[in-house]
């Protein structure tokens, strides 16, 4: 069976789940194979998160990243838990390797992340005063950003500032920084980052803003409230990162997402998709059908994002189904492997890769 016949057959099966062969997605996927079918993402503003072990020991992984990506980000390496085992110690082994790989392959490296409630070493629980917290946070940003000044072009300075289910627009997620410094720690971090590397793109990164429902609407409202407050105080902030860990069984709020990204654009902010994948634990089992539904969910999300703002870049949280966080938390009950990423476990191109390539080529 040819590639097109396989796609058409899968689209026919996927029609039961709302993906019509005559839809824009169906037309895109069933169209003639492009000349770059084996590498549809090469040369585009696409990138992926990398893991240290496959990057070190798996030639196929390194080759796929080098072939398809223009940027990478470490799944770990720059988080506090990885880089600050003690108060006095910085460990740069992993990010230095990421930087060396990116440089050798003509790519850029994104920085993830400087301020996050998660992945904090136990010693930070002993931060007892506002002055100590400020000294530590400023010193950390100066040291980490300073090491990569002029080389890491884009940083997730603030990651996941909004509570999982905010009770009000002013709700902020608890963290050691929020406990000791209050909301002032966001401006402190961004202003420090801008001082250390004036050319770097400074981003606030967030998840779960894209679905239909009150919780997701409240998350959009709380994030916008925080962004507006920072911009009104002339705090340097250049972009909003939408993680895009999409749930295959949840509907995208197209109007809500488009309105959100339009407001970000009106405030002069770039919109980035920073951690895209599609969590497929509740999608049907047959891989060909599931791949269509994964691609459809991503297309629905990306099309909603670009309805309000151009998409600056798209990164997926991994490149191959062989290496993904998804089964750790969303393992399928039928025992079949998860398929959340643009290339399968054998590094073959999937419909998701074609969707990402189409959106990036068709940047509005």
Q: Using one digit for the tens of pLDDT, what is the confidence trace for 299-314?
A: 999 999 999 999 999 9
Residue % of the chain over a pLDDT of 70: 90
Q: How confident is the model at residue 169 (pLDDT cuts 50, 70, 90)?
A: confident
Tens digit of pLDDT for each residue in 30-71? 655 554 577 899 999 999 999 999 999 999 999 999 999 999
> What is the signed CA dihedral for 209, 210, 214, 220, rounded to 10 degrees?
30
Averaged pLDDT for residues 333-344:
98
pLDDT given at position 35: 45
Domains contained in the chain, number = 1
Question: Taking Cα atoms as reference points, which of 178, 173, 364, 157 lies closest to residue 274?
Answer: 157
Question: What was the pLDDT predicted at 178?
Answer: 98
User: Whole domain around residue 254: which residue ranges?
Assistant: 3-361
Q: What is the pTM assigned to this prediction?
A: 0.94
| Cα dihedral 48, 83, 137, 148 sign | negative
Cβ neighbourhood burial of 46 (10 Å; 0-12, 13-18, 19+): buried
CATH code of the domain covering residue 237: 3.20.20.80
Mean pLDDT value of segment 199-212: 99
Question: pLDDT-based confidence at 13, cuts 50/70/90?
Answer: low
Lowest mean pLDDT among 91-100, 148-157, 164-173, 185-194: 164-173
Cα angle at 294 between 292 and 297, to 5 degrees? 110
Q: 10 vs 331, which has greater pLDDT?
A: 331
Q: What is the mean pLDDT of residues 124-134?
A: 98
When the pLDDT of each residue in the chain is averaged and rounded to a whole number, the result is 94
């Amino acid at each position: 069976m040819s590639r097109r016949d396989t796609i058409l057959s899968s689209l026919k099966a996927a029609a039961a789940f709302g993906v019509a062969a005559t839809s824009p997605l169906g037309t895109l996927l069933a169209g003639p194979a492009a000349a770059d079918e084996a590498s549809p993402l090469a040369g585009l503003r696409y990138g992926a998160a990398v893991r240290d072990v496959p990057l070190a020991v798996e030639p196929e992984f390194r080759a796929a990243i080098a072939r398809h990506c223009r940027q990478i980000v470490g799944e770990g390496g720059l988080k506090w838990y990885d880089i600050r085992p003690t108060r006095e110690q910085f460990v740069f082994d992993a990010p230095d390797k990421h930087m060396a790989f990116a440089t050798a392959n003509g790519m850029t490296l994104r920085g993830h992340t400087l301020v996050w409630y998660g992945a904090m070493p136990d010693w930070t629980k002993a931060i007892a005063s506002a002055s100590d917290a400020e000294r530590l946070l400023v010193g950390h940003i100066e040291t980490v950003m300073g090491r990569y000044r002029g080389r890491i072009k884009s940083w997730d300075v603030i990651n996941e500032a909004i509570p999982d289910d905010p009770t009000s627009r002013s709700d902020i997620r608890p963290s050691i920084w929020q406990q000791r410094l209050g909301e002032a720690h966001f401006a402190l971090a961004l202003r420090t980052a801008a001082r250390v590397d004036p050319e770097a793109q400074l981003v606030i990164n967030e998840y779960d803003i894209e679905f239909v429902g009150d919780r997701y609407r409240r998350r959009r409202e709380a994030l916008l409230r925080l962004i507006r407050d920072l911009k009104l105080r002339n705090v340097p902030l250049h972009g909003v990162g939408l993680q895009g860990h999409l749930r295959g069984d949840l509907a995208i709020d197209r109007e809500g997402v488009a309105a959100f990204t339009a407001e970000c654009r009106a405030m002069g902010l770039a919109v980035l998709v920073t951690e895209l994948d599609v969590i497929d634990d509740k999608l049907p089992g047959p891989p060909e059908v599931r791949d269509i539904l994964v691609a459809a969910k991503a297309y629905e999300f990306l099309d909603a994002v670009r309805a309000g703002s151009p998409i600056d870049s798209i990164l997926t949280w991994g490149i191959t189904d062989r290496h993904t966080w998804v089964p750790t938390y969303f393992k399928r009950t039928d025992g079949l492997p998860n398929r959340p990423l643009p290339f399968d476990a054998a590094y073959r191109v999937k419909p998701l890769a074609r969707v990402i390539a189409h959106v990036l080529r068709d940047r509005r």
